Amino acid sequence: MENELAEIQSKIYEIRGQKVMLDRDLAELYGVELKRLNEATKRNQGRFPLDFMFQLTQDEWGYLRSQIATANKNIAKIRFFPYVFTEQGVSMLSSVLNSDRAIKINVNIMRAFVKLRHCAFSETTSNTQLAELRKLLMLHIENTGNKLTEHDEQIKQIVLALNNLMEKPKETKQIGSRSDNR
């Protein structure tokens, strides 16, 4: 199972600040043709808003292709730019493919996303680096005084996001009982 999770994690990329998976990789994992996967998403477009699935631009595809198997001839011979699925999109995809294999693979993909998120937000992640970045951004805002530009407003939003990242998650209580016989 660890090997399968590692394989899935190696197929998760960061594009536009989001963790995503390529349509080709998902088709391979789910054991369906890429054409069938794309048909299923087109038939169910309402289930895949832009924050669940989007098509790569030429620049994004070029950058991603340079990172992954450039020797893979199948990747070099594409007719259209690939679609990528965010974590929510992957979850929705399993519901439209609705097969036992899709459900099993989807569970492992969700575990891989959770593991990546856990690593990204674990205590070992340098909160001091986040704090330093926050201080630098705050100094920039203070130095601009009352003349806030559009960039300064964006910087304020980044500071708010950093504050949220640095906050400790609240303790949650488990409700109900858990059966070990799943």
Q: pLDDT tens digit string along 131-179?
A: 666 666 666 566 555 555 555 566 666 666 666 666 555 444 445 455 5
Tens of pLDDT along 46-66?
999 999 999 999 999 888 887
* Bridge partner residues of 74 (DSSP): none
Q: How far is CA 94 from CA 12, 43, 50, 119, in A?
A: 17, 14, 17, 25
* Three-state SS at 77: coil
Tens of pLDDT along 62-88?
888 877 754 444 555 567 899 999 988
Angle, alpha carbons 67-69-72 (nearest 5°):
145
Helix, strand, coil shares, percent, the chain, to 5: 60, 10, 30
Helices (H), 19-149: 23-30, 34-43, 58-67, 73-76, 87-97, 100-120, 127-144
| CATH architecture of the region 2-120 | Roll (3.10)
How many Cα neighbours within 13 Å face the side chain of 132? 4
Burial of 145 (0-12, 13-18, 19+ CB in 10 A): exposed
